[in-house]
Chain A
Amino acid sequence: MTIRKDLPSIFDDFSEARRNGFMAAKNFKETDRPMIGTFCTFMPQEIPLAIGAATVSLCATSDETIEAAEKDLPRNLCPLIKSSYGFGKTDKCPFFYFSDLVVGETTCDGKRKMFEMMGEFKPVHVMQLPQGPDQQHAHLVWKDEIILLKETIEKQFNVTITEEQIKETISIKNRERKALKEFYELGKLNPPAISGMDILKVLYGSTFKFEKEDTINELTELTARVKEEYVAGKKLESKPRILVTGCPIGGVTDKLVKAIEDNGGVVVFYENCMGAKAIEDLVDESNEDVYDALAEKYLKIGCSCMSPNKARFEMLGRAIDEFQVDAVVEAVLQACHTYAIETATVKDFVNNKKNKPYISVETDYSTSDIGQLNTRMAAFIEML
């Protein structure tokens, strides 16, 4: 299979930011290395990294292709699925365009079936994720799925992946996780050193960088620099400290964080997919069986698709204490059943176990609810 490098004319009228992402992706592809697109943190990046590939998140962040997606998909479906499918179908996403393989996973029914349709126009490999993390067989199934992913990649790119290579990428990914964690733990500082918007920009931006060593160095430098300036007196005003949790909302998180921070709060911790959820736990480097070690780490991700989902509540509880959180805001995407249902348990946990206020808001990828979000966030922060 040949690696796609061409610049289709459609990208020409793209916004500057996206063009930068596009150029970075194009430059990466010039080095003759594959790019693997993913939709979820459950995908063990250590496997594609072992062949020198880059992994890139394809979760779309705007509603611009939803209309195109609705030609094939039902309207009453989560906007993340519709938008991601739409970007793939219309070739408007450079990362999708440059992905030689898309790895999906069965975190929800919508994605499971959408990937079947996406497979019609793109090479797609779907990992069957077991959703009862406490069962012994879940561990065995997931380990098997990780080996299957390795074999698919070996076959598609005509390479052999050794356990030595995986050990190496486990170590790189662990170092990246530690660097990200040290960065977002700046959120523990009280009064805050940086705004939640700045934390978000870094967490989100780091998923569009393709050279892990560079990312690790940049993050480490950035964290050190913020700490230095903090010690030298550069502190933000103390405000109600907010923890953000809920659905993967990628770029839309912007509007929620803006509504929180424009109305008198500061976001100090992100529990959702882009935040700590998949970063916090490391892969056990002392385990000689690399697949076993990977299966163990990835099954610990506290996603609402898991039942029971103890990991999420452990992390929420710990973060509320360690980051001195005053209140919790949860964002739920329309038609995301598992997160929507779990809001009741999260509210009960936050209100009654941690004695903190909690609010959940339903949103989508549009900008039409910014006024309503502002009113809700302002009222919530007035209440604190």
Chain B
Amino acid sequence: MYSIGIDSGSATTKGVLYDGEKIIDKVIVPTGANPRRAMEAIYDKLYRENAYTVTTGYGRALLKVADKQVTEITCHGKGAAFLDNQISAIIDIGGQDSKVILLDRDKNIKDFLMNDKCAAGTGRFLEVIMRLLQEDLCDFDDYVSGASGTKISSMCAVFAESEVVSLLAQDVSGPSVAMGIIESISQRTANFAKKLPIDGKVFFSGGLAQIESIRKTMEKELGLEMTTHEDAQFAGAIGAAVIGYQHMSRK
């Protein structure tokens, strides 16, 4: 018995194949302008006969052959708890939103918050600034190594971009600006997360979770231990597959 989980995110589409115990295959593709095609490509690649398919994420309604749709909140919670069963909360900084999810003792979702009104607390913000600095996000840790952050005071991603332009004109270094942006995103996310009674070990997911300097800054701002996993980006897809497998077993 197999289940497939597909997470259609704003930047990338992720898919995993699950056999009830472990993830046996995973695929990631850019979502691009056609989220449906990205989901279909992943489905074709992971296809097994009679596999139960669950979709999640923004484009979750687009894959016609899917058996079930579940929101990214529930899938993220399940997926992160699958990757690390010691966690009690999840912070996800995605391409166009960020979310905080609290888990109960049984790793069910107890409460959540979602910020999708403001780009300044998301991965998109860093992406925009790195483009302005003409630096690649993949080398981020090396780029900011040893730099201390400049304070970015604008509350809005668009205004912050013009603030960065004037900081660079004052000869503030690129790495210092990049660190400033990270501190700004981290403060914003930590304040947002603290609206819920967050405690214990926190799982950090989303594209930014893989960057160590960002995780360290987040940890400092939040005052809690943060962990991640090399498959953290797949948390939503894994959660979808796990839910699908449970659903199939119950039948």
Binding site for B on A (CB under 8 A): 351, 357, 362, 371-372, 375-376, 378-380, 382-383
Contact = CB atoms under 8 A, between A and B. Distances in A.
B117 A383 contact: no
B41 interface: no
B70 A382 contact: yes
Interface string B69-86: 011111000000000000
A375 B111 contact: no
Nearest to A377: B71
Contact of B73 (A351, A357, A362, A375): A375
B72 A357 contact: no
Contacts of A351: 111
Given A357-B111, A383-B109, A375 B71 contact: yes
B111 A382 contact: no
A265 to B, nearest CB: 13
Given A382-B109, A383-B109, A372 B71 contact: no
A337 to B, nearest CB: 17
A360 to B, nearest CB: 10
Contacts of B71: 375, 378-379, 382
Contacts of B73: 375, 379, 382-383
Nearest to B111: A357
Interface of B: 58, 70-74, 108-112, 114, 116-117
B108 A372 contact: no
A376 B73 CA distance: 8
Contact of B116 (A372, A378, A383): A372
Contacts of B74: 379, 382-383
Contacts of B58: 371
Contacts of A376: 114
Contact of B117 (A357, A362, A371, A375): A362
A372 B73 CA distance: 12
B128 to A, nearest CB: 21
A203 B73 CA distance: 33
Nearest to A263: B71
A371 B111 CA distance: 20
A375 B72 contact: yes
Contacts of A371: 58
A102 to B, nearest CB: 33
A197 to B, nearest CB: 21
A245 B123 CA distance: 33
Contacts of B110: 383
Complex A-B, nearest 3 residue pairs according to Cβ-Cβ distance, in ascending order: A379-B73, A379-B71, A382-B74
A162 to B, nearest CB: 53
Nearest to B112: A379
Nearest to A381: B71
A383 B108 contact: yes
16 contacts: A357-B111, A371-B58, A372-B114, A375-B72, A375-B73, A375-B114, A376-B114, A378-B71, A379-B74, A379-B112, A379-B114, A382-B71, A383-B74, A383-B109, A383-B111, A383-B112
A357 to B, nearest CB: 7
B234 to A, nearest CB: 19
Contacts of A362: 117
Of listed A351, A372, A375, residue having the most chain B CB within 10 A: A375
A351 B108 CA distance: 16
Of listed A357, A362, A372, A379, residue having the most chain B CB within 10 A: A379
A245 to B, nearest CB: 17
Given A371-B58, A383-B109, 14 more contacts: A351-B111, A362-B117, A372-B116, A375-B71, A375-B72, A376-B114, A378-B71, A379-B73, A379-B74, A379-B109, A382-B73, A383-B73, A383-B74, A383-B112
B203 to A, nearest CB: 17
Nearest to B104: A383
A341 to B, nearest CB: 13
A341 B195 CA distance: 13
A375 B109 CA distance: 15
B124 to A, nearest CB: 16
B24 to A, nearest CB: 26
A311 to B, nearest CB: 26
Of listed B70, B71, B72, B116, residue having the most chain A CB within 10 A: B71
A371 B70 CA distance: 14
A21 B246 CA distance: 52
A362 B114 CA distance: 11
A375 B74 CA distance: 10
Contacts of A383: 73-74, 108-112
A195 B141 CA distance: 54
Of listed B70, B72, B114, residue having the most chain A CB within 10 A: B114
B119 to A, nearest CB: 14
A383 B112 CA distance: 10
A362 B116 CA distance: 11
Contacts of B116: 372
Nearest to B108: A383
A338 to B, nearest CB: 19
A358 B104 CA distance: 15
Contacts of A372: 114, 116
Contacts of A378: 71
Nearest to A360: B113
A119 to B, nearest CB: 34
Contacts of B109: 379, 382-383
A380 B74 CA distance: 9
A362 B113 CA distance: 12
A382 B74 CA distance: 7
Contacts of A379: 71-74, 109, 112, 114
A380 B112 CA distance: 8
A185 B57 CA distance: 38
